[in-house]
């Protein structure tokens, strides 16, 4: 049985700290037996007592310390207890860490990873359930990477920590922690055809049929990835239409090759995100489509996102606010031609 996403991340941290003394962990409530709010850091303070730094409640302070550690040659990994709190460190990230390579004429770099448990569907209410990485889109010098169960989450974190010389926001959807990794082997992922793009932060494309048969492209990342696959399966069963799901892990800079190639095949595009849509991921994907992909579109692209409201404590209201499988399915049906018009046009 495969690891959970949480186990993959935890073992990656153990592996990195075992093999590279430059890796340090810093954040709130990291010490055992607590081991962090979601237990991703469990066992690390016991095994590496002198390299796990538990801090007061001061996100701006300890992110600033971590930036200094990175500039001094270390590889710090910051854990923000809930991703919602990253806004408290926004000045350190945007006005300091992300700019230092330019300010100091590339004589320094800031190889820093800030882990962000984001997302809702766990009943944590309006200030602990948000998906806020979109507010960092467009910040020069800052990379945003989001994992999902279809990539090796631990390896992705290791790439960001050991090999990326930029500050990286590493987005981990909280609902995903208990999910099993769904590995891709030999071009297959369970009942689906699978493709993985090259590069350190791959995009994964999945289809229940041949990629050449795709009727619609559904782009989703992070916590929306498995919902997108579920919607693709329902579209095939209920409508006999094929959906290609494309899941980028590099959100900034946005990896567009796999998306553009899929749109060129399908001619229809739906983009999904868990946050409210204004100024977000969906808008960026659509605006970044290359001319060839635009020329292939046969209908206006559709966006699926959360309502522009705070996330409620009530389970029913939270579910009504966040996008779900039914929303994805409805968007694909809106963008696709009806069976009658498809038959008339061949």
pLDDT (0 to 100) of residue 339: 64
Could you read off the pLDDT of 117-171 as tens digits, one per residue? 999 999 999 999 999 999 999 999 999 999 999 999 999 999 999 999 999 999 9
Section 81-103 average pLDDT: 97
pLDDT band at 1; cut points 50, 70, 90: confident
Could you read off the pLDDT of 214-263 as tens digits, one per residue? 999 999 999 999 999 999 999 999 999 999 999 999 999 999 999 999 99
User: Are 321 and 309 within 8 A, CB to CB?
Assistant: yes
Could you read off the pLDDT of 189-198 as tens digits, one per residue? 999 999 999 9
User: What is the phi/psi pair of residue 30, to 5°?
Assistant: -85, -20
pLDDT at 13 > cutoff 80: yes
> What's the pTM?
0.96
Distance CA 346, CA 330 (A): 23
Q: State what percent of residues in the chain have pLDDT above 90.
A: 97
Orientation angle between helical segments 153-162 and 5-19, nearest 10 degrees: 30
pLDDT at 81 > cutoff 90: yes
305's tokens: 């996102």
Strand order in the sheet with 302-306: 188-189, 192-196, 204-207, 243-247, 216-219, 269-276, 302-306
pLDDT band at 346; cut points 50, 70, 90: very low
**Three-state SS string across 166-231, please?**
CCEEEEEEHHHCCCECCCCECCEECCEEEEECCCCCCCEEEECCCHHHCCEEEECCHHHHHHHHHH
User: What is the phi/psi pair of residue 304, to 5°?
Assistant: -125, 125
Q: What is the mean pLDDT of the chain?
A: 96
Distances (CA, A) of 101 to 3, 65, 110, 157, 213: 37, 17, 7, 22, 45
pLDDT (0 to 100) of residue 338: 81
Q: Can you name the residues that pair with 318 across neighbouring β-strands?
A: none
Nearest Cα residue to 37 out of 89, 84, 82: 82
pLDDT band at 345; cut points 50, 70, 90: very low
Section 42-47 average pLDDT: 98
pLDDT (0 to 100) of residue 80: 98
Q: State what percent of residues in the chain have pLDDT above 70.
A: 98
DSSP string covering 236-292? HHHH---EEEEE-SEEETT--HHHHHHHHHHS-EEEEEEEESTTSHHHHHHHH--HH
Q: How many CA atoms lie within 13 A of 100 on its CB side?
A: 20
pLDDT (0 to 100) of residue 258: 97
């Amino acid at each position: 049985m495969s690891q959970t996403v949480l186990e993959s991340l935890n073992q990656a941290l153990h592996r990195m700290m075992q093999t590279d003394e430059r890796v340090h962990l810093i954040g709130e409530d990291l010490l055992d037996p607590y081991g962090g709010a979601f237990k991703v850091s469990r066992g690390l303070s016991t095994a590496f007592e002198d390299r796990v730094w538990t801090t007061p409640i001061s996100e701006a302070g300890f992110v600033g310390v971590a930036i200094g550690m990175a500039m001094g040659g270390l590889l710090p990994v910051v854990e923000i207890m809930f991703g919602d709190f990253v806004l408290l460190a926004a000045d350190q990230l945007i006005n300091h860490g992300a700019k230092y390579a330019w300010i100091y004429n590339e004589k320094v770099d800031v190889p820093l990873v800030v882990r962000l448990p984001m997302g809702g569907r766990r009943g944590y209410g309006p200030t602990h359930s948000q998906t806020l990485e979109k507010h960092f889109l467009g910040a020069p010098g800052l990379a945003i990477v989001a994992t999902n169960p279809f990539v090796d989450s631990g390896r992705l974190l290791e790439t960001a920590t050991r090999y990326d010389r930029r500050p990286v926001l590493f987005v981990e959807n909280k609902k995903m922690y208990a999910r099993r990794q769904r590995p891709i082997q030999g071009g297959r992922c369970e009942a689906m055809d699978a493709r993985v793009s090259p590069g350190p932060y791959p995009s994964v494309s999945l289809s229940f049929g041949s990629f050449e048969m795709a009727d619609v492209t559904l782009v989703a990342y992070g916590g929306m990835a498995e919902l997108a696959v579920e919607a693709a399966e329902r579209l095939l069963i209920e409508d006999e239409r094929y959906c290609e799901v494309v899941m980028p892990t590099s959100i900034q800079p946005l990896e567009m090759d796999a998306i553009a190639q899929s749109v060129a095949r399908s001619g229809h595009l739906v983009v999904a995100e868990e946050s409210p849509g204004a100024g977000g991921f969906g808008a960026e994907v659509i605006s970044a489509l290359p001319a060839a992909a635009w020329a292939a579109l046969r209908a206006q692209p559709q966006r699926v996102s959360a309502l522009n409201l705070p996330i409620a404590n009530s389970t029913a209201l939270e579910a009504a606010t966040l996008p779900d499988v039914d929303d994805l399915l409805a968007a694909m049906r809106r963008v696709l031609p009806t069976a009658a018009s498809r038959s008339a046009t061949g």
